Chains A and B, each alone.
Chain A
Amino acid sequence: MFVVNPLDIAVEIKGVSHSFEGALGQAGAELMALSTTDLAIRRGELLSLIGPSGCGKSTLLNMMGGLLTPTSGEVRVNGAIVTAPMPKTVSFVFQENALFPWNTILDNIVVALTFQNVPSGERLDVAHQALKAVGLSEFAQYYPDQLSGGMRQRAALARALSLKTDIILMDEPFAALDEQTRMVLGEDLSTLLNQTGKTIVLVTHSLGEAVFLSDRIAVISARPGRVLEVIEVGEPHPRHPEFVTSGKFAELRNRLYALLHDEIRQTLSTQAMGIPSAGLQSAAGSSRHD
């Protein structure tokens, strides 16, 4: 279909697998989180990784960011093999609690720029610009605890943007937010990314979020994870709320659901057999809150 120029590949995953040693608390026990996987992420696209709990999508993301080393195969960013975090090229947005609670959101960004060795004279300006880009200028002197979950996530996004990396990796950045806040943040993200042209890899649990935000969606199977299919969304950015009610959206969402349904069943049945998984616990926990 497409012939992709190798220079247009931002992240390349080749024959990558990952096992956690002694993950079950026994010496020699190995838990295969990710089986041999190939995936290429194009420059400037937003690619979502979606799959059942424990399928290794976060593991894959952490390997792209240099936080984990593949057991086999290699991960290349801009053609170079990843061995450690690359603060100049790749930044992360984690779940809600990754801002430093002892710093104001402005200082959170200034500290990040300090880590990245940005000259001290430029840090404040860059930080203010980043907060302005996400609409948080007035809240610069607030501590994370004083902001809502949605605002905190905007601040975390501002911190990642301020680092001016080509690639941003997002690990379920909206997971802790309510549905409405998620939708609005999703729209904002789509607009923002349309302006910056960054390459984004997004790990998500939400089918709707994946369809709404992504250029492509990589569907990962139950553990040990592998890429089942890569779905093209084919809708221009920035995306608007009307996209959600379109037939195309529903069709893509249903296709994703059909692909994932059996995988999720399989995950649930292995969990019922007593294989420990954080995923089942969190699922049980959230249903109790509902």
Chain B
Amino acid sequence: MWQSNAAYQVGFVVLVFAAWFFATQWLAISPLLMPDPVNVIKRLAQLLQSLEWMDPFWVTASEVLSAFALSSVLGIALSFVLSRSLWVVKTFDPLLNGINAVPAILFFPLFALLFGLGPGSKIALGFTISFFPIVINTTAAFGRVESIHLKAATCMGASKWQLLRYVLLPSAIPMILSGLRMGLTLAFLSVLGGETIASFNGLGHQIAESSQAMDSELMYAWILFVIAVSFSLNTTLSLIERIGGRAP
């Protein structure tokens, strides 16, 4: 079953590349808009070989991880405190959802002013965008712990710490993980977005720079590189979520 799925998935990717290739051969499309994929892949191979990808990759990775570390630690801590009181949850949950609906990218110019064009503004943007989904999911996760489980544990003599360790966390972890996954994906998206708007370095910066230099082949090569990175990120996260959601 899995193998036949994988065959179709690979087939789909091959099909996309084939369509791209034939479009550049047979249709009169400017190579500036859509360069030949064969050239793009050659440029990508050069890029990988020259190790020039490493510096921008680490810049972006460190921005994403900093933003994510901040939003997950602060987000889970805040959720845990919030979820101790039903009143607080009922009051703040609509507020958090409302804030989450605000397009936080609007604040990027402000972050650029406050933190400069370096990693600071990207981390601030990544944090702002990934923080709320993490808080909303984690609060809901703690809120959905069955009261019968808490009652049973209390009757059996569980201490406060044991309640957290053996009941609250295992009960909440699947939903916390899906919130974290969403948070990391959003942090990645927003850091890249921020980099393409205004930055000194990073993967998004490389894409914007090659576009401005009208080097479309290089731009596409960077885009393929980012797609590969986000694909591996997503696969890893799914795996962690599956393992973490199953056993305590």
Is B149 at the interface (CB under 8 A from chain A)?
yes
User: Chain B: how many interface residues by the 8 Å CB criterion?
Assistant: 19
Q: Which of B143-167 contact A (CB under 8 A)?
A: 146, 148-149, 151-159, 162, 166-167
The one of B146, B148, B154, B162 in contact with A85, judged by C-beta atoms closer than 8 angstroms, is B154
| Contact indicator A115/B170 (Cβ below 8 Å) | no
Given A97-B146, A102-B248, A114-B162, answer yes or no on A91-B170 (Cβ-Cβ < 8 Å).
no
Is A54 at the interface (CB under 8 A from chain B)?
no
| Contact indicator A102/B171 (Cβ below 8 Å) | yes
| Chain B residues with CB below 8 A from A90, complex form | 155
| Contact indicator B156/A91 (Cβ below 8 Å) | yes
| Contact indicator A114/B166 (Cβ below 8 Å) | yes
Most buried by A among B146, B155, B248: B155
- The proximity string for B residues 212-248 relative to A, scoring 1 for CB distances below 8 Å and 0 otherwise, is 0000000000000000000000000000000000011
| Contact indicator B156/A115 (Cβ below 8 Å) | yes
| Chain A residues with CB below 8 A from B151, complex form | 67, 92, 94, 98
The CA-CA distance from A185 to B164 in the complex, in Å, is 33
Most buried by B among A65, A98, A117: A98
Given A94-B148, A97-B148, answer yes or no on A67-B155 (Cβ-Cβ < 8 Å).
yes
**Which applies to chain A's interface (DSSP): helix, strand, loop or mixed?**
loop
| Contact indicator A87/B155 (Cβ below 8 Å) | yes
- The proximity string for A residues 205-235 relative to B, scoring 1 for CB distances below 8 Å and 0 otherwise, is 0000000000000000000000000000000
The CA-CA distance from A102 to B154 in the complex, in Å, is 17
| Contact indicator A98/B152 (Cβ below 8 Å) | yes
| Contact indicator A117/B157 (Cβ below 8 Å) | yes
Residue of A nearest to B162 (CB): A115
A130 to chain B, nearest CB (A): 13
| Chain A residues with CB below 8 A from B154, complex form | 67, 85
| Chain B residues with CB below 8 A from A97, complex form | 146, 148
**Which applies to chain B's interface (DSSP): helix, strand, loop or mixed?**
helix
A238 to chain B, nearest CB (A): 27
| Chain A residues with CB below 8 A from B153, complex form | 115
| Contact indicator B156/A94 (Cβ below 8 Å) | no
Given A102-B248, A103-B248, A114-B166, answer yes or no on A85-B155 (Cβ-Cβ < 8 Å).
yes
Given A100-B170, A102-B171, A103-B248, answer yes or no on A116-B149 (Cβ-Cβ < 8 Å).
no
The CA-CA distance from A85 to B153 in the complex, in Å, is 10
Q: Which of B163-193 contact A (CB under 8 A)?
A: 166-167, 170-171
Residue of B nearest to A116 (CB): B157
| Chain A residues with CB below 8 A from B158, complex form | 115
The one of B166, B171, B247, B248 in contact with A115, judged by C-beta atoms closer than 8 angstroms, is B166
Is A244 at the interface (CB under 8 A from chain B)?
no
Is A111 at the interface (CB under 8 A from chain B)?
yes
| Contact indicator B157/A111 (Cβ below 8 Å) | no
Given A97-B148, A100-B149, answer yes or no on A92-B155 (Cβ-Cβ < 8 Å).
yes
Residue of A nearest to B170 (CB): A102
Most buried by B among A67, A112, A115: A115
The CA-CA distance from A8 to B159 in the complex, in Å, is 31
| Contact indicator B157/A85 (Cβ below 8 Å) | yes
| Chain A residues with CB below 8 A from B159, complex form | 115
| Chain A residues with CB below 8 A from B247, complex form | 102
| Chain A residues with CB below 8 A from B146, complex form | 97
Residue of A nearest to B169 (CB): A102
Q: Which of B56-83 contact A (CB under 8 A)?
A: none
Most buried by A among B151, B157, B159, B162: B157
A-B contact pairs, 18 of them (CB 8 A): A65-B155, A67-B155, A85-B155, A87-B156, A88-B157, A91-B155, A91-B156, A92-B151, A92-B155, A94-B151, A95-B148, A97-B148, A98-B148, A98-B152, A111-B166, A115-B162, A116-B157, A163-B156
Q: A100-B166, A116-B157, A163-B156 are known; give 5 further A-B pairs, CB within 8 A.
A: A91-B156, A94-B148, A97-B148, A115-B166, A117-B157
